[in-house]
Structures are given as C-alpha cells and as structure tokens.
Homo-oligomer: A and B are copies of this chain.
C-alpha cells in the first residue's frame, strides 16, 4: 500500500469542483475556505485517506494523476486541454521509445504528457523562444520526475529543427505553417505532423503549407467534451461547456518523387 511521504504531492479533494494540489511538507498548513489542514498529518498515511480540516470538513488525499497536474500546469500559457493532448498522443502514434519534436514549450504541459509516454527510451525535444517559459517548464518537468526525457531548447521552430528521423512533430504555436517545411525534413518517412490552433485561419494556412510540402492523410478536427450531471431522476448535460479550445490538424510525410528515386 503506497504511503504519502514528505515532499509528495497530494490532491486534496473536497468535491468534483474543489480540488487542491499541495506538496506535503513538515509543519506546513494549507488554508481553505473550509478551514485549514495540517499537511504533516498526512505523512505516512496511505493515499486515499480522509483528513479533516480545522472546521471538521473531510478532504480526501488523492494521489495526483498526470492529468491533475496538466490541468494546473497548462493554466497560464496554454489552452491545450487534456482532451486535446489525449487525441494528439493517440493520433500521432506516440508510445514508449518515440522521438518527438514539440513546441512552443510554454509551461511544459504537453511536453510532460509526451515524456510520460515515451519514457524510458524515448525523448522529447521541446522548443521555446521565451526563456521565462522554459524556466517554468523545467520546474514543472522536475516536479513530475520527467525532466530526464525532455531536452528543452531555447530556439525558434520557425527557423529550423535540429533533429532528424523523428517520429512526430507537434506544434502549439501562432504560426505553425512556417514550421511545416522544417517538420518535413525532421520527420522520418511517414512520420506524423500535428498542430493545435485556436483560429480557422491558422488551420487553413497550415493545411495549405502541408499539401504543398508533401504531407498526406491530412485531417483537421475539433473535439468537444461535455460533462453530465448524473443522478437518478435528474440526469442532464452540463449547462455551460467549453466548446472550443482549438482545432487539431494531422498529416503524414510522403516521400517525394526525387528522394524516392535516389
């Protein structure tokens, strides 16, 4: 049975809307609107245990999933949601051992998810022009124990990609179409290109650049996730939902005629 150690992260769960990610440290107190919680009381206890606040309200100490971290990491610089990252992961065929170029790094949410799935033998090469973001990303990757699988690069993807024979190139940046020719060169045969963009104009420019460059099997989609309130006699979809984060575009590298004959 896995126990909570000093330094561990815990997701304090009050209800489905109120969950708090905290680090367990000696003599640390976490304050909520339902009273404070002495975090060192959790040390040595099993995950899943209940803990009471000073006001007598029960919180449950869950072990955070990667998704729990992602939702919190992504908040500041990115709008990629776990739903989008999940589709990217499966549609790009990423798995243990994959070699992936990714950017902009932002706070490192997508890099974290990919690193988690390519480890221990794969690698993520993550590009970011903003040095401040890179520091944040590095901190997040270390927190998650994933820093060994990610090479952070303070370089501009629109200027070029240093890696070759990569399995996938994944973009979440304002001008993905400028990266398309570099991605073509970096990808191995029939490798997968993916791009996330909030606006339809970005999608149009990217798809046109992809067609011109020699990508095929091009697909642009959007993914909507809607939650439900489930309770016998009162079951219904949620009223308000996020109906747009961005469009996802995928394509695969085709060999060009001349490279073929060589």
Contact = CB atoms under 8 A, between A and B. Distances in A.
Count of this chain's copies in the oligomeric assembly: 4
A253 B61 CA distance: 11
Given A203-B230, A235-B201, A260-B50, A243 B240 contact: yes
A120 B96 contact: yes
Interface string A28-49: 0000000000000000001111
A189 interface: yes
Interface of A: 1-2, 13, 16, 19, 46-50, 60, 62-63, 65-67, 82-83, 85-87, 89-93, 95-96, 113, 116-117, 119-120, 188-190, 192, 198-201, 203-204, 207-208, 216-228, 230-245, 247, 249, 252-255, 257, 260
- A-side binding surface: helix, strand, loop or mixed? mixed
Given A87-B86, A89-B89, A230 B220 contact: yes
Given A2-B189, A238-B243, A241-B241, 20 more contacts: A19-B217, A46-B255, A48-B254, A50-B254, A62-B217, A82-B90, A86-B91, A95-B117, A200-B200, A201-B232, A201-B234, A222-B226, A223-B225, A224-B225, A236-B244, A237-B243, A239-B242, A239-B244, A240-B240, A240-B242
Contact of A238 (B47, B188, B244): B244
23 contacts: A2-B189, A13-B217, A47-B190, A48-B253, A50-B254, A60-B255, A62-B217, A67-B91, A82-B91, A86-B86, A86-B89, A87-B225, A201-B233, A201-B234, A203-B230, A222-B228, A222-B237, A223-B224, A224-B225, A226-B243, A226-B244, A239-B243, A240-B240
